Amino acid sequence: EPEVTQTPSHQVTQMGQEVILRCVPISNHLYFYWYRQILGQKVEFLVSFYNNEISEKSEIFDDQFSVERPDGSNFTLKIRSTKLEDSAMYFCARDGLGNSPLHFGNGTRLTVT
Amino acid sequence: QKEVEQNSGPLSVPEGAIASLNCTYSDRGSQSFFWYRQYSGKSPELIMFIYSNGDKEDGRFTAQLNKASQYVSLLIRDSQPSDSATYLCAVKEAAGNKLTFGGGTRVLVKP
């Protein structure tokens, strides 16, 4: 049973549309991440979010992406104008401070048509 | 560009045998090393983590770390068909908390 729940499990959208992926931690953690995995490729870091601010982001995380924790519970990843190449599994993860391991949510499969 | 390299496999092992997986990394300052198991279409599931040189055992799994050689490995003893999955090596950079993943090694355990 993952300690991070992601919704939806599968999202299909048309190119150019906005999508919002959601992550709900079961317990109250401060450090969150978004990773993505394009089919058949490596798991890639997108962004880390600590204490309601972006802590670090990758080159992938351009102006089309944004993250929020609007109500202090849900943690969201927004893609403003989706492209075909945004099709991937998106994973939310929690913890990871210092040497502690990351624990991943169940993922959202995003399909852009 | 920090790299984590793994043999993509597939690594085919008979049931009951030992599976040996290897991983090398480029960032000499890395301090934390993780092995995740990933079934097809699922999220990575933490198996083990290791910080110090040497061996760390947890059940049927043993992680081995050699920082001088920038090498980390995972041994799976008494392999079971349910161990068939892709095993991801991940390294935490010396600075920051993000993980860099290898491409994974696909393991097939044949009954």
How many cross-chain Cβ pairs, A to B, lie less than 8 Å apart? 61
* C-beta atoms of A102 and B49 within 8 A: no
Closest CA to B19 of B54, B62, B58: B62
User: What's the pLDDT band for A108 if we cut at 50, 70, 90?
Assistant: very high
| Secondary structure (3-state) at A85 | helix
* Chain B CB within 8 Å of residue A43 CB: yes
Question: How many angstroms away from the CA of A97 is the closest CA of chain B?
Answer: 6
Per-residue pLDDT of A47-81, as tens digits, reads 998 878 899 999 999 999 999 887 777 889 999 99
pLDDT band of residue A96 (cuts 50, 70, 90) is: low
CA closest to A34 among chain B residues: B98
Question: Which amino acid makes up residue A71?
Answer: D
> A38 in contact with B at a CB cutoff of 8 Å?
no
Question: For residues B72 and B22, what is the distance between their CA atoms, to the nearest angstrom?
Answer: 6
Give B8-67 pLDDT, tens digit per residue: 999 999 999 999 999 999 999 898 999 999 999 999 999 999 999 999 999 999 999 999
User: A2 touching B, CB under 8 A?
Assistant: yes
State yes or no: pLDDT of A97 exceeds 80. Answer: no
Mean pLDDT of all residues in A26-43: 87
Contacts of A45 (CB under 8 A, 6+ apart): A33, A35, A58, B98, B99, B100
Q: Which residues of A touch B45 (CB under 8 A)?
A: 104
Could you tell me the two tokens for A104?
Answer: 């991943």
**Nearest residue on chain B to A5, alpha-carbon basis:** B43
Residue A107: per-residue pLDDT: 96
